[in-house]
């Protein structure tokens, strides 16, 4: 089983972000600080679509609505790639730990 390192998850996440936007701007250099709404032009519904893609890609259900609720409560100006990575690493790791237990 392939180890889900942060770098590997980042790489997969960026590919899924590209798939979620038909009009992806290939000149954008995506970093952990890139905001999905203001920099990548996501609409709320794209974030919902992304959640389905993430679940399919990593083959597990993810508490994405709860993540969105938490983010809203924090009054963040945007959700960055870094936020998404933190969320994924926390939940994917938890799953891996549960599977190993």
Positions in the binding site for other proteins (CB under 8 A): 23, 35, 37-38, 43-45, 47-49, 52-53, 56, 65-66, 68-69, 72, 76-79
Complex with other proteins: residue 11 or 69, whichever CB lies closer:
69
What letter would DSSP give residue 26? T
CB of 77 to other proteins, least distance (A): 7
Are 80 and 33 within 8 A, CB to CB? yes
Are 17 and 88 within 8 A, CB to CB? no
CB of 66 to other proteins, least distance (A): 5
Angle at 54 between CA 49 and CA 58, to 5 degrees: 155
Complex with other proteins: residue 12 or 78, whichever CB lies closer:
78
CB of 48 to other proteins, least distance (A): 5
The encoded tokens of residue 58 equal 């990593």
């Amino acid at each position: 089983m392939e180890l889900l390192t942060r770098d590997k998850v980042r790489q997969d996440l960026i590919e899924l972000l590209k798939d979620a936007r038909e009009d992806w701007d290939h000149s954008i250099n995506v970093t952990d600080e890139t905001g999905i709404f203001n920099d990548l032009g996501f609409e709320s519904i794209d974030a919902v679509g992304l959640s389905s893609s993430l679940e399919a890609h990593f083959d597990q259900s993810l508490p994405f609505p709860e993540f969105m609720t938490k983010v809203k409560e924090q009054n963040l100006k945007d959700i960055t790639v870094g936020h998404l990575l933190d969320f994924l690493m926390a939940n994917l790791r938890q799953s891996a730990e549960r599977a190993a237990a």
